[in-house]
Structure 1
Amino acid sequence: MTVLDETPVDLSAGVGMYVGKSPVMKEVLDLAFRWAKTDYQVLIEGETGTGKELMARFLHHASERWDRPFVAVNCGAMADSLLESELFGHEKGSFTGAHRDRKGLFEQAAGGTLFLDEIGEASEAIQVKLLRILETKEFYRIGAEGSLPMTARVITATHRPLRKRVEEGAFREDLMFRLDVGKITMPPLSKRLRDIPDLVVSLFQKEGLPERTLTDQALKRLESHPWPGNIRELNHVMIKTAVTLPAQQTIIDEGDLALPESRLDERLLLNHESDCTVPELLEAVRLYEKELIQARIETVLKETSGDRKRAAELLDLTERKLRYWLNEK
């Protein structure tokens, strides 16, 4: 049996994407499997941490291109000049530091799949070049006189809907139409709460961690958490939980969960009999707000490899304000 004979669930497991029991995720997988069997461009939308790159790998793995290269790049994590060189490659001597010819990602992905993550953050200049490539099926290395054929399938992803980016004037509508032939929307973890127990089991198996059981109280606590970071955040919390527990402990209770610490006592919001004052509640909310903002900034800094200027742009902040939130002078 070849890869092309495998079921969608088997293929998803092969790329590390757990489908679970939630109907919404099964519908997404079935749709993705149908698009995988075509050669059209596919746009994947979804919140941060929902598994967009895993879905892109599934689309590649389930297609007839499965035995060809899968190449990925984050369009929001690089400066324009670097991204252009990364995508298209360059000829020796085409600019300072170009000491040899270099294949770009379009060449490296020849016959396979090129995954452009965070396509919504691409600059106008990059968008124009991508549009031309998709229309002509050819591209130029930087400094080259002749063109090269583009044979890769292009799959893109964004955590901000492209239609909204178009309405904001930040993305070309004609390019959106080229990319959004097929669309897959990854559901947030809040729509997959029934999958949490099996997601935890799958994570522990994948990471080689001891098998442990969640108590009902622990599960309820996980289901009530908002999960702004979705599955990525769940993985982080459960790995931290598993590593910090005593090796002999096989049960995970509510108090064992390594959820983000917050000075906002959730009982103040859930218990109407609480004797806290309104000023105390407002102060707790203010501190919690600061923690949430700082966590979001740290996440974006990781995605941009520490590039504060780029992170500030993605967060719609000035660099000065970003430093303020990080308590930097």
Structure 2
Amino acid sequence: MTTLGTATASPGEADIGRLPVGEARDGSDVGLPVAVINGRRDGKTLFVQAVSDGDELNGLGVIRRVVPQLDPDEIAGEILIVGIANYYGFLVGEHRNPIDDTKLNRTFPGNESGTASERIAAAIFEAVTRSDLALDLHQGSTSCMINETRVRCGSRHRLHRDCLELAKVFGCGYILDLKGPDGQLARAGPDEGVPTIDPELGGAVGWDETSIQKGVKGVFNVLYHYGFLDGEVTTAPQTRASNFEQYGSPAGGLVSFEFDLGDDVERGDTIFTVTDPFGTVKADVTADSDGIFWRHRRLPQVATGEYVCSVGTTIDEY
């Protein structure tokens, strides 16, 4: 028998339910939507979650496509799914949890007696620690970015190679291999012996079909490679960046980019220009290092010092 919240499934069964995380301001129960797929055969356990940030919807689009395709009779092992992690943020379309003004993906492993976000994180993390692998599906929120998979445990972590392998199997094409902030699930999971990655499925607020399809393919890559489903997947080399250079605007105005996402950038190349409303150039900003044009703001208007774009650096293939 496999249980996650109120979802319970015997071998060869699937179920959906709610994972209790507290009460809302009106005293009603709050539960995260969850699903359990318990395979007919023995195998590993995979944990998958989406919407840790309340306005990042592409991961939910992936789960919505993947779950109806999973037949417990064909699966070896168990799959535990949290469809909407930041429930309060999702309801109002906000990145942070509005109940405690906290970014949920900075609160793992959580605290059963803590803030609203810490309680959610603790309930989720109990399921993570029962798993052999974990996928935390994200997207670039309000920025436009390439499809990438993030390995956040740090290069000296004992599970670094396992996390890299999981990222390679997921197969977004790009890997950011850079230690993340404390409290990220992709940091906390490996500390408990669970290889965990953070696929960032595109960027900008919305529901992007191309990135959703890439995420669906990534989840099935994992299911095949780790034996949940019969079949094979061929892993391809991924372009890996081990650092970011972020660029702000030296002047206020409107930004024009000289590169598309994923383009190679050489040191000294002009990466963006700032003009006034009438097209007069106020500033040209050049790259400090060679790299890949990784991420940029969605809207063109900027104030002095405001974030504009990022270049992935220290590039190799993995």
TM-score in same-fold range (> 0.5)? no
More strand by share: 2
Larger Cα-atom Rg: 1
Higher-RCO chain (CA-CA 8 Å, sequence separation at least 6): 1
TM-score normalised per structure 2: 0.25
More helix by share: 1
